[in-house]
Amino acid sequence: MSHNATKKPRNINQMAAYIVLIGLAVAGAWSVNSIGINIPTLLQSADNAVNFVSRMFPLNFPPIGELTSMIVETLAIVFLATALAVVLSVPVSLWAARPTSPNTTVHWLSRAFIVLMRAIPDLILAILFLRVFGLGSLGGILAMGLHSIGMIGKLYSDAIEELDDGPREAIQSNGAGRNQQIWSAIPQTLMPQIIATALHRFDINLRTSVLLGYVGVGGIGQEIADSLRVLDYQRGMALAIVVLLLCIAVELLSGALRAAIMNRTSNKPSWRQTWSDKLFGKKGDGTQVAVAAPATSINPPWSAERVNRVLVMATIVILTVLSWFAVDLSLREFLVGLTELPATLALFLPPSSGGIAADIFLLMVDTLKIAFAATFLGAVLAIPIGVLAARNVVMNKWVNSTFRIFIVVVRGIPELILAIVFVVISGLGAVAGTLALSLGAVGLLSKLVADSIEETDMDVQEAVRAAGASNVQVFFASTIRQAAPAFVAHTLYLLDNNIRSATLLDVVGAGGIGFQLLNASRVNQFDVVTYILIVMVAVVLAVEVLSMWLRKAVR
């Protein structure tokens, strides 16, 4: 009786979740139709696409010295922003995680701060800081750094809550105080994930820097914005190609480093072995070479592992100093700007609709339509591509390698660059924004789908195959069933990400509420900027709460 009583609510909850998921899919299909994306529309844009390509060539690259300076400035801005985010996220995550938080109040305040930083778009933070510190790299560094806490802080705090408490208890038994226990055991244990997450965020921030160039942050993004404002497509698209190659290079490098840093399970299939396994000490079957357990004493000996950590930290410090000088930051400028921060914040309060509340809500509806349509189209395209890229489904290495390369290339294209191209081809409006986000979704979701399929339990699949099932039957009966919850979670994450991105793409006229946001900032209506921000944050938080419930319900 008690078993049925506990099982029935769970079934009802799960059924409700599936109904909501069907409703979201229907909303996505309706949004595609409402925006007007169809075969005739795409065919009508073909002539514009040909004209655009003809106006791109010949590409006009800057002189090598000037181009190198742009690249160095961009990488320095992104590095300093990511480093700032990591430095701030470590204490914030320790306060946000239940095992290390001093008390309940600090725990919830830290969690709220992480959520707030994730909900506020970095473009709005950039508008604020550029107002305080003037045009240049400082505002972009602060904007990307604080916004990145929303992702990095959440991942770090969640990882702390999942840690084995053994090392901390061992240090406690040696007489260490609370702070010694935390700072001796936890950072050392989490160091691989700290570095891996930072590398992933660096990759994201590199793409974001292109968007922030449109509001006055330096680097390649600003040069692209300046070129396209005067319709110099030859220079603008040449720089866009440089950004694409840079993003691909960073994606490959950071991916290899993350794979080398993160500990992998000993039963990893041989097809998942990479060159980095051999380079960083993994055996031919994919298992990790035995490494001594982390020391639990307060003053651990100078082992090879500890020397490596010190060398990594020294390298980070050197890169930080070089990046600081590369963007010519001024501590005096920063301190002077801080004194003006209260007066600048006062310009944003109290929030006001400026008499255009109805227009703002209609534009927010347009933003949601773009996000739903892009998620629907992205999922339709990304799931089969992800399946073909999974190495435990398609055994032909040429096929899955081709699709893996395709995913990397698509992921390397910043969504703003895609939006610029589609605005020129299909005109201003929601069609351009939807197509840009859809193609960007293919790069993100395809990779997540492929990785989820590769992480399914091979023993279950082999058991089904041993019962006489064909490869197709194994795929649908075992592989897809195991990966389905992950598919749902990834698609919801994509929807959440698309809502944030769709609010910003109208910087280049790609539809949504971004135009009104940018226009209000340009005419110094900062109270309207705050009003729009509140609307955006409310929508983002509502979608996030819905996503959390759905992910939990479909498990």
Cβ 124 vs Cβ 133: under 8 Å: no
Hey, is 288 helix, strand or coil?
A: strand
- CATH code: domain 18-57+351-555 is 1.10.3720.10
Angstrom distance (rounded) from CA 479 to CA 452: 10
Backbone phi, then psi, for 325, in 5-degree steps? -75, -30
Angstrom distance (rounded) from CA 366 to CA 371: 9
Kindly give, in sequence order, each residue whose CB lies less than 8 Å from that of residue 215, ignoring residues fewer than 6 positions away.
Answer: 123, 126, 127, 130, 507, 518, 521
What was the pLDDT predicted at 80? 92
- CA distances, 211 to each of 2, 35, 216, 243, 434 (Å): 56, 24, 10, 12, 17
Hey, is 326 helix, strand or coil?
A: helix
pLDDT (tens digit per residue) in 326-350: 887 777 778 887 887 888 888 888 8
- CA distances, 165 to each of 70, 100, 545, 546 (Å): 46, 11, 30, 32
Angstrom distance (rounded) from CA 177 to CA 294: 19
Angstrom distance (rounded) from CA 305 to CA 210: 37
- CA distances, 298 to each of 184, 186, 203, 293, 301 (Å): 7, 12, 35, 15, 10
Kindly give, in sequence order, each residue whose CB lies less than 8 Å from that of residue 208, ignoring residues fewer than 6 positions away.
Answer: 122, 144
What was the pLDDT predicted at 261? 61
Angstrom distance (rounded) from CA 220 to CA 236: 10
Which residues pair with residue 282 across a beta bridge?
A: 288
Q: Output helix, strand, coil percentages for the chain, rounded to the nearest 5.
A: 80, 0, 20
What was the pLDDT predicted at 295? 45
Q: For the domain 60-347, what is the CATH superfamily, name and number?
A: MetI-like (1.10.3720.10)
Angstrom distance (rounded) from CA 444 to CA 258: 17
Hey, is 282 helix, strand or coil?
A: strand
Whole-model pTM: value is 0.75
Of 385, 501, 518, which Cα lies nearest the Cα of 433? Answer: 501
Cβ 194 vs Cβ 90: under 8 Å: yes
pLDDT (tens digit per residue) in 205-251: 888 888 787 777 778 888 888 887 787 888 888 888 888 888 888 87
Runs of H (alpha helix) within 262-303: 275-279
CB atoms inside a 10 Å sphere around CB 194 = 20
* Residue 351, H or E segment: none
Of 121, 16, 19, which Cα lies nearest the Cα of 498? Answer: 121
Phi-psi region of 218 (alpha: psi -120 to 50; beta: other; left: phi over 0): beta
Cβ 377 vs Cβ 555: under 8 Å: no
Angstrom distance (rounded) from CA 11 to CA 336: 59
* Residue 430, H or E segment: helix 430-454
10 Å CB burial of residue 376 (0-12, 13-18, 19+) is: buried
Instruction: Decide whether 18-57+351-555 matches 60-347 in CATH topology.
Output: yes
Cβ 142 vs Cβ 120: under 8 Å: no
Angstrom distance (rounded) from CA 59 to CA 322: 31
Cβ 123 vs Cβ 215: under 8 Å: yes
What was the pLDDT predicted at 212? 81
Angstrom distance (rounded) from CA 152 to CA 158: 10
Angstrom distance (rounded) from CA 87 to CA 85: 6
- CA distances, 297 to each of 160, 238, 411 (Å): 20, 55, 43
Cβ 189 vs Cβ 309: under 8 Å: no
Both structure tokens of 247: 């993003």
> How far is CA 269 from its chain centroid?
28
The domain limits of the chain are: 18-57+351-555, 60-347
**Could you write out the DSSP letters of every residue in 141-191?**
HHHHHHHHHHHHHHHHHHHHHTS-SHHHHHHHHTT--HHHHHHHHHHHHHH
CB atoms inside a 10 Å sphere around CB 13 = 13
Angstrom distance (rounded) from CA 243 to CA 71: 9
Of 199, 200, 194, which Cα lies nearest the Cα of 89? Answer: 194
pLDDT tens digit at each of 555 positions of the chain: 445 544 555 578 778 878 888 888 898 899 888 888 877 777 777 777 777 777 788 888 889 988 888 888 889 999 999 999 999 998 898 888 877 788 888 889 998 898 888 878 788 888 888 878 877 788 888 988 999 998 888 888 877 777 665 555 665 566 655 566 566 656 666 777 777 788 888 888 888 888 787 777 778 888 888 887 787 888 888 888 888 888 888 877 776 776 666 544 334 444 444 333 433 334 444 444 443 444 444 455 666 666 666 777 788 888 888 888 888 777 777 888 788 788 888 888 888 888 888 888 888 888 888 889 989 998 888 888 888 888 777 777 788 788 888 888 887 777 777 887 787 777 777 888 888 888 888 888 888 888 777 777 676 767 767 776 666 777 766 777 777 777 777 888 888 888 877 777 766 666 667 778 877 877 888 888 888 888 888 888 888 788 778 777 766
Both structure tokens of 412: 């390397």
Site of tokens 């750094």: 145
